[in-house]
Amino acid sequence: MAFIGLGSQKAVGNLVDSVRKGECILFLGAGVHAPPAADAPWVYPEEKRLPMAGALAQALAQDCEFEELLPNDSPWDLQRVSLCYENTRGMGRQALVDTLVRLLHQGKEPSPALRMLASLPFRIIVTTNYDHLFERALHELGKTELTIVYNPEHDAPSEDVTADPTPERPLLFKIHGDLDRRESIVITDEDYITFVQRMSEKEASHPVPPTVRYRMMKWPILFVGFSLRDYNLRLLFRTLRWRVDPARFPVCYSVDLKPDPLIVEVWEHQRRFVTFVPQNLWDFVPWLYKEVLGQDYGTAAPGDAA
């Protein structure tokens, strides 16, 4: 397809070259599990997809009778709903994570878009997702990830890898936790407060691995599955840039079909933090796959949903 969205062919070429060389950091959000359009060549059945944040919040809200307890609050607010769930008598943190496992793991499959991204030579992937679908997509390709999971404990020593990541053995940093590490999950209001506190800690105990922080000052970042209208994502982005000279930070790209015009004005035009790519991820990811690997992704690739 003829790609549109970036400001110039040079910007397009720079992004593709960086990904091709394995010198681009992939930031992966929950939106990567969104369904393709009805007329798209890709199939991703609803029962195999993960729920989006709003749907997840509503499922939790029903279980903890959120609307009866807090009738003036929104049942779509995942942070608020999950905090209510965790603090409802007879539930608690264990029940919250058990429910997340049920909703985000059982019967779920990686999408074709996720498998395409796993096929590309990213050496560092940062994800806010708790699930294991990207890992499954890597394993289907014979890749083995080096995983580091966010640690909420204050003053915990920084974790890092002992060898440089490769496309076949990439570093996967789960910045909002992992379903297998219950204490690591960042989902409630209180979890986010702790997260922001941790992100301000000194070098020796900073929760982001040194390899990731170093490469973020050298390599461009590609955001897929996010909307920068999300306050939490902007907060995450800013905390990762604390005490860093803006001139030392490379360009970032955000794939967002309909970016908020006010966010575009501030983050792209004024602060020059991000170049927005106004494309649906189901158009952008196959395009990037073909540009980097030189071939189309087959609609019947191994493991694809039928």
SS3 240: helix
| Cα gap 217→246, rounded to integer Å | 10
The vertex-223 CA angle with 135 and 50, nearest 5°, equals 45
Bridge-partner residues for 28, per DSSP? 127, 224
Handedness of CA 283, 284, 285, 287 (dihedral sign): positive
Domain ranges within the chain, ordered by starting residue: 9-43+110-293, 53-104
Digitized pLDDT (tens) for each residue of the chain, 306 residues in all: 455 455 556 777 889 999 999 999 999 999 999 999 888 898 999 999 999 999 999 999 999 999 999 999 999 999 999 999 999 998 999 999 999 999 998 899 999 999 999 999 999 999 999 999 999 999 999 999 999 999 999 999 999 999 999 999 999 999 999 999 999 999 999 999 999 899 888 889 999 999 998 898 889 999 999 988 887 778 777 777 665 666 667 888 999 999 999 999 988 888 888 888 889 999 999 999 999 999 999 744 444 433
The third-level CATH classification (topology) of the domain covering 9-43+110-293 is Rossmann fold (3.40.50)
CA nearest to 166, candidates 137, 111, 125, 220: 125
213 Cβ neighbours under 8 A, 6+ residues apart: 206, 240
pTM above 0.75, yes or no: yes
| Token duo for residue 291 | 């540009």
Task: Please report the pLDDT score of residue 232 as a whole number.
Answer: 74
Task: Provide DSSP, 262-278.
Answer: HHIIIIIIIS--EEEE-
Three-state helix/strand/coil letters over 24-35:
CEEEECHHHHCC
| Cα gap 46→44, rounded to integer Å | 7
- Amino acid 32 reads V
Contact in structure between 170 and 164 (CB atoms under 8 Å)? no
Within 10 angstroms of residue 142's Cβ, the number of other Cβ atoms is: 7
| Token duo for residue 112 | 């074709």
